[in-house]
Amino acid sequence: MSSREAILNRLRTYRQPQPSQPVQAPASAPAMLSVAEKVRVFTENLHAAHAEVITATEENWTRRLLSVLRETGVHSVTYAPNTPHGESLKSAAHAYPELQLHAYENNIESCKDALFNHIQCGFGAAMKGVAETGTLMVKTGPDEPRALSLVPPTHSLIIHAKDLYADLPEALHRTQITAALPTNLLLISGPSKTADIQQTLAYGAHGPKRLIVVLIVPEESDHV
């Protein structure tokens, strides 16, 4: 047998159809965690990813967030005005006159200069969270477009402890979001980071270099 025939025979062998095997579903079921356990795991994973977590209640989250922003030199924030959390932030900001709030306008051309050159923080909401990975699920849309979480160097997200799930399969199953996937669904697990250059980890290369998560917990919970 010549070398050519040997090569062709091997190719024909490799191209033989293989019997299909049924795909086995993951054997593990979603972990059954209490809300307190999900809060703890979620917070630990966010801290491990260099994110900041502010644990607060419905009554004091605006004061705690605005105080942190002021103490760390953030003086300009853009927010979604047509959302409940946006309205709450606007109402509380009157007590912080040094802070400039910019309502995000749907026409990016009208706010491009401020967004790219002056605004220091974008504020929005996460629809769900995944404790296992410290991930926030953000559904963007006309009220909270992608640029809100992408352009300013600091991004802040609010999420309620009741919206945390143990892992991603549970989150996808319980929310049924796969039945009608939005155009853009973000999974945020910390500040933007890359190690493309010499495998040196750098933050802020492709998005915000700082992530502040406001985690709303029941009043009886311990604050972090």
For residue range 45-88, what is the model confidence (pLDDT) as tens digits?
999 999 999 999 999 999 999 999 999 999 999 999 989 999 99
48 vs 42: CA distance, rounded Å: 10
212 vs 103: CA distance, rounded Å: 19
Please, what are the domains in the chain?
A: 33-216 (3.40.50.10420)
C-alpha atoms less than 13 angstroms from C-alpha of 1 in its C-beta half-sphere: 8
DSSP letter (8 states) at residue 72: T
Q: What are the C-alpha distances in Å from 74 to residues 20, 51, 65, 116, 152? A: 57, 16, 11, 15, 11
DSSP letter (8 states) at residue 224: -
Q: What is the pLDDT of residues 138-151, one digit of tens each?
A: 988 888 888 888 89
Closest C-alpha among 132, 158, 144, 141 to residue 211 = 158
164 vs 171: CA distance, rounded Å: 8
pLDDT digits (tens), the chain, 224 positions: 777 777 777 666 655 555 455 444 444 445 588 999 999 999 999 999 999 999 999 999 999 999 999 999 999 999 999 899 999 999 999 899 999 999 987 677 778 888 888 999 999 999 999 999 999 999 888 888 888 888 999 999 999 999 999 999 899 888 887 777 777 889 999 888 888 777 787 887 788 999 999 999 987 555 44
Strand, coil or helix: 103: strand
32 vs 219: CA distance, rounded Å: 23
The answer to whether 100 and 76 are in contact (CB under 8 A) is yes
Q: What are the C-alpha distances in Å from 111 to residues 79, 159, 195? A: 12, 26, 31
Where do the H-state alpha helices sit in the chain? 3-14, 35-48, 61-71, 84-92, 108-117, 146-150, 168-175
205 vs 200: CA distance, rounded Å: 12
* Residue 12: per-residue pLDDT: 67
31 vs 38: CA distance, rounded Å: 10
* Residue 14: per-residue pLDDT: 55
* Residue 22: per-residue pLDDT: 46
* Residue 211: per-residue pLDDT: 96
